[in-house]
Amino acid sequence: MKVGFIGLGIMGRPMSKNLLKAGYNLTVLDYNESAVKELVALGASSAPTASEIAKQCDVVVTMLPNSPHVKAVALGEGGIIEGARQGLTFIDMSSIDPMASKEIGAALAEKGVDMLDAPVSGGEPKAIDGTISVMVGGEKATFDRYYDLMKAMAGSVVYVGELGAGNVTKLANQVIVALNIAAMSEAMILATKAGVSPELVYQAIRGGLAGSTVLDAKAPLVMDRKFNPGFRIELHIKDLMNALNAAHSLSVPLPLTSQVMEIMQALKADGLEKEDHCSIIKYYEKIANITVGH
């Protein structure tokens, strides 16, 4: 099976490396030449355009920032659609607007191309060790055909419904993650202001009902003051914007999500949009005039 992979960023680079480790014949594309060279040195080939990748490969995987980028790569000049043929499969693992997934899928279907929307969760550490969670929408037969390919990059690959359902699931995931980090931040600020060690509070509550994967991943980073991005605030803003747009189109109010969106916008205004989303703590530190640490 010949696999094309477009998008070698924080997530795409380790994911593509895991495909190479699994023995897949891989062709890569990214505007970052050093990322391409790194993958080529590991055994991948490279191609100049998405259309060339589509011509050469059986399946094309994308891992891109947002809907416009995926649309451009899939449907734009030099895009996948120009090299498309009957039997090609497109797996978009980006986190985008579900309506954009459906629009792209409909256009590619006219060329005989099957599409899965398969966004991921877990951040850079899980992308590196191959334990990300993948939530997949599309035809079940297509999902079954490419399950092993996706599993080579992931710890969990779950079918959630028709095309677009993957990104609806991812938006739900991002809402929960954002609210978890905000709740953790409020709790840590309360503990610190009260003179109680946030580290001891974390150790005391992590095994109970308040414990979560988010808490275990982000609380130690906050206390160690490590805010280099596993998942950037600006990307979480993008996901919450997609969640709010989707919710509003369905007449679904998301009041807590809206509140966390405004917190992230405040952090962006402070120039922190490139930091990890656990930097939400910095919003609370600013308004409470205290710093959380060991």
**Sign of torsion, CA 274 280 283 289?**
negative
**Sign of torsion, CA 65 226 18 151?**
negative
Among residues 17, 71, 170, 218, which one is catalytic? 170
Whole-angstrom distance, CA of residue 168 vs CA of residue 92: 14
End-to-end Cα distance, the chain: 50
The region, left, alpha or beta by phi > 0 then psi within -120 to 50, assigned to residue 58 is: alpha
286 is catalytic: no
Please say whether the beta carbons of 150 and 92 come within 8 A. Answer: no
For the beta carbon of residue 266, count every other beta carbon within 10 angstroms. 15
**Sign of torsion, CA 138 141 142 144?**
positive
Please say whether the beta carbons of 29 and 85 come within 8 A. Answer: no
Q: 289: which 2 tokens?
A: 């005039």
Beta-ladder partners of 23: none
Beta strands per DSSP E along 99-194: 114-117, 120-121, 132-137, 154-161
* Phi/psi at 189 (5° precision): -65, -45
Number of continuous H segments (helices) and E segments (strands) in the chain: 13, 9
Q: 177: which 2 tokens?
A: 């993650």
Q: What single-letter amino acid sits at 122? A: G
The catalytic residue positions are 170
